[in-house]
A and B are shown apart, each in its own frame.
Chain A
């Protein structure tokens, strides 16, 4: 979309009534029962969208697959999304035909966790080393759950296991379970552990069903996690609606992160039966960065779940989108190298995000790439995705043999 009005507007509401008014005044917004859906719930219920001419109708979804299907069918206009879900739909690798998708903004960083069952705990498997030993023993493979085949939880779990020398596709079984059902599956003994968003890791501890082996921020401090996703068709048909949505959620994100008191009351809102529907005690501590792993360690996490971080959480960095494609490639979900950068440019809607940030007078990072050192010591800065995807000792890379005649 072209915009010839480059100058930021002094009054963020100036455009609402004119030709920039949202084309749709009410939209259906999908979310999952997870604490990191907070910015959507706060935006929808606390009057952040009305000033932009939008009503946000929150629609809780039972699983990521359902959310994906409704996003594609148009039943949901936009939704909380896993980075890996949006890219899998765009690339057509998740069992659905490819549909052009868009990441409007980042919603949250950090705050997922890998939990193991109390049975493993009782057997002394409470360290990465003990888990690696157990995984390499003969006998029944452990079964670990994640929330969506190409989702962030699958990829965090794979990355973490691989960093401990455990091959996620050979040394363990993995299954898909909706996040809010993880604890019940643990209780029933159907799984030995899981990687999911909160409050389900904390709830596993509260119910005496498991403990936290690792947080995802220990894999990658300030890692990208949930995004605001929609189809590209939605952005192109309703560009003003998409921008108004970004504005409302940006303001809600800033509000949540602006004080501990705001975070406490946000946690209270989330525990409501219409939203996350879980006890406050399972939600609030980790929401405030107060962690206990259930096996005697407690700490204040410097990279806990966050929603704003002065806008760095919300910027749809190209390097964030690229990283998920490198992991698809690493684990054989993509059989060939895609045109990494071109695809990231299509999906990450930097243009709309910049417009929205300008309207709110927020600073936008100058580079669309950011750099991080992950727990295995590898540096990711977005510069060589194909090389990075090939650089891991443990992988499931497949190489397609080129046919002789093209």
Chain B
């Protein structure tokens, strides 16, 4: 059963979502107001989905959402009465997977949550690919830098430098990037 962390930020309509969610068969953990520390609650509760019911998402809400999506990404669905496109854009940019304006019907909740989760997963996959690409580039640069240092130190060819670094890494059961970092650190310490 999906665990849902439900954040109520609409005092006048308290309970409108909770009843619908329980009816749809979800495990609902209720919190009220966004004065709570959302990242901390997410860490403690480990929900599958975060649902925020708010009249109009203000800056505080967006900040909390940003923190969660950076540190403990989860699908976040926002129900609101605010249909301002700028607010919607800002919400999506902060990491909201689905932004639903008004009209909550119990029978529509399940498909909305399903879509939000799929959307979240594909976002995460894309993010992981981009992260891998950035890291590859960063690692390549560090390895190149270390290789250049070693070529100067040992007065050897590029291929010899790579081979030396790899042998060192393998005989210590390390990755090439670790040996590259050691060479760079040593080079910094010895100056030039």
Contact = CB atoms under 8 A, between A and B. Distances in A.
Interface of A: 24-26, 42, 45-47, 50-51, 53-55, 255, 261-262, 264-266, 268-269, 271-272, 274-275
23 contacts: A24-B129, A25-B129, A25-B130, A25-B133, A25-B136, A45-B174, A45-B176, A46-B166, A46-B169, A46-B176, A47-B139, A47-B166, A47-B175, A53-B133, A53-B136, A255-B163, A255-B166, A261-B167, A264-B171, A266-B170, A268-B172, A269-B170, A274-B173
Given A47-B177, A262-B163, A42 B129 contact: no
A265 B133 contact: no
B167 A265 contact: yes
Contact of A50 (B130, B140, B170, B172): B140
Contacts of B38: none
A53 B132 CA distance: 9
A26 to B, nearest CB: 4
A248 to B, nearest CB: 12
A54 B137 CA distance: 10
For chain B, give the interface size range. Answer: 20 to 34
Nearest to B168: A265
Contacts of A274: 173
Contacts of A261: 167
Given A26-B129, A268-B171, 5 more contacts: A25-B132, A45-B174, A265-B171, A266-B170, A268-B170
B136 A269 contact: no
A265 B135 contact: no
A268 B175 contact: no
A272 B178 CA distance: 15
Given A262-B167, A265-B166, A46 B133 contact: no
B88 interface: no
B118 interface: no
Interface string B177-189: 1000000000000
A252 to B, nearest CB: 10
A13 to B, nearest CB: 11
Interface of B: 128-130, 132-133, 135-136, 139-140, 143, 162-163, 166-167, 169-177
A382 to B, nearest CB: 37
Given A255-B166, A269-B170, A45 B129 contact: no
Contacts of B167: 261-262, 265
Contacts of B133: 25, 53
Contacts of A271: 173
B39 to A, nearest CB: 27
Contacts of A55: 132, 135-136
Contacts of A265: 166-167, 170-171
Contacts of B169: 45-46, 269
B143 A47 contact: yes
A42 B177 contact: no
A83 to B, nearest CB: 27
Contacts of B172: 268
Nearest to B134: A25
A53 B139 CA distance: 11
A245 to B, nearest CB: 14
Contacts of B170: 42, 45-46, 265-266, 268-269
A36 B38 CA distance: 49
B139 A26 contact: no
Nearest to A272: B173
Nearest to B169: A46
A-B pairs, 8 with minimum CB distance:
A272-B173, A26-B132, A269-B170, A265-B170, A47-B176, A265-B171, A265-B167, A25-B133
Contacts of A50: 136, 139-140, 143
B112 to A, nearest CB: 27
B175 A45 contact: yes
A272 B177 CA distance: 17
A231 B88 CA distance: 41
A51 B175 contact: no
Contact of A269 (B130, B132, B173, B177): B173
